[in-house]
Structure 1
């Protein structure tokens, strides 16, 4: 299949789905390699992610979705009558920030950083569709990361566009704190 035909198929799938689709799902339906889907996603971002385009393409955690251009937010809010269900609390914003900068992150790692239980906050963020949980295949521990909806609300295409992302994502003090949590979880060897 030609490059243009592949792009056309992916565009149609994204419009029909109306939700994020994984590279794997697209590869299966479009009968292309998963690595090719990544290239197609980049091509779609180049095509759509322009100021004059009403449609943008967001890619996060090997998922892709069509979203609206954030410059049209006022018109959309007027049309949709603001679908949000209230403001996030300060602890929720703090938790969401940590997830965004340190994803994927386990509940235990998050609680080690915050110093308090995060169960209720994580549940609320999951319900709002701002974070998602995936089980780590090795130990079946849920790992949390932000969703495409979170990126859409901020008007960014990836977490790398967050302020000081590179610095905060690899902060040595936080990493040492997280590593301390992991070593405490392991049984001592005799």
Structure 2
């Protein structure tokens, strides 16, 4: 697989812009080679008039939707961020509540799917927040608004918090489905009934 292919894959799953240094570290190639391949990829997307583009801002690249589809994308985002939360969104939010602060890669591993769009949705709704450490790793946690919405004063007051506040326990619970489903219902009640799968 070429450097361009690897950059394309990483930008696709990333929920935020990625720097040349980050890409170089992950792909294990010199920054000069990453920049060359990234610039070529940017031009390829631009010339082929695809529904998505790769943009560059300083030393960072990001995959975004085409400006030509801005209205369609805005309508979709509006529907996604004003309607009820889907089951996958509630499941992701439950995991963040019990396991946060947590990285996207850990979330993806626990759920077994790419959580980029769900995280973006939850961020827009103000239910979670993202913070980066000194190494540039992003961690997700629930917001104070989310805690107030649940009517509790501290995240430790969540049902079975001590039991589920570690990777092993929540992974086991997720694999069985019973504990996560029970705690989704404890947290959100009837909001999860009758919802779709997106």
- TM-score (normalizing by structure 2): 0.44
Flag the structure with higher helix content: 2
